[in-house]
Structure 1
Amino acid sequence: MTKHVQWDGNLNQEGFEILKGEGGCIVTPTKVGYIIMTSDKAGLERKFEAKERNRNKPGVVLCGSMDELRALSQLTPEIDAFYQKHWDEDILLGCILPWREDAYAKLQAFGDGREELMTDVRGTSCFVIKFGKAGEQIAKEMWEKEGKMVYASSANPSGKGNRGKVEGIGERIENAVDLVIE
């Protein structure tokens, strides 16, 4: 049975440690429901299997800071200002953007094919900020301490919302992940 823990407002160290390891997958709350977070190709494979999700529906890139967003995605001055306004006002925002060439090369350099599960046919991804403190803390720590990106999808069976309740993630997802942060 998957372990459940309550988020206490601080960085969930156990969730962070799981995502540092190979193939780690956790469920964490956001402002709009629960998500599955992972940080590598093995974890992405687990996420797709748990959700029974079509592989042509990429995950999103969770950015724990504006610096990370700027390091990964191509931003015009207008898009940067748009994201910054949302960051400053603590408003969830995700936009489909092209990768910076150097960042996409880094994504490909892992050599495991994760870019196929993280980008659409145009090679773009959805870059998300201010999605919820519990996950933001982990994403920030992963980027700043480990130099790793964090990827996610909603934690519910494909096509069905979880309505912001941990029970809504479903038994299949609950059994497939290493930790559920409530």
Structure 2
Amino acid sequence: YKGDQRFAYDCGLVLEGAEASTFASQVDALLKEHAAEAGARSVRPPPYVDHTDRDGNVIPGAVRFKFKVPAEIQTKRGPWVRKPKIADSLGKLVDTEGLTIGTGTEARIAFTVYLTQGGGQAGLRLEPVGVQIRKLVEAFQPSDEVTFEAMDDGFAADEPGSFEEEGEV
């Protein structure tokens, strides 16, 4: 039952070398076993891809695993909120209000495997239950308080205003 899903919590985990190939093999084995038991005609792609750099070049031996869970599912009993727990390196739960976990963060992920089937296809999803952050890299969050110094020989507006006030250009 897919239900009404509101947004999702998702993250990627990059593993390299033997660790990456071992985990990918375990995921593949689970997916193959599930497809056989479900009598599926086809199998959805596994929740991992070769990891690439910013230019799209594959990094040899690096695999990016995708973890995703619906944030809220509407059930007959009402909404089911599924927010993963976030802990610091000491195992203490973290208040996530305003916390922005960015690329480069080092963490452990506790997860469950959610098996899916439908339309003759079998698949699986890696659903995060908790994340323990070893090294936090905060993502950039734009602010209304951003200021810049003047630049020589650049564009200068006639008067401050908003797009709504000025109309379309």
- Of Structure 1 and Structure 2, the greater helix share is in 1
Q: Same fold (TM over 0.5)?
A: no
- Of Structure 1 and Structure 2, the greater strand share is in 2
Higher Cα radius of gyration? 2
TM superposition score normalised by structure 1: 0.24
Q: Which has the higher contact order (CA 8 A, sep 6+)?
A: 1
TM superposition score normalised by structure 2: 0.26
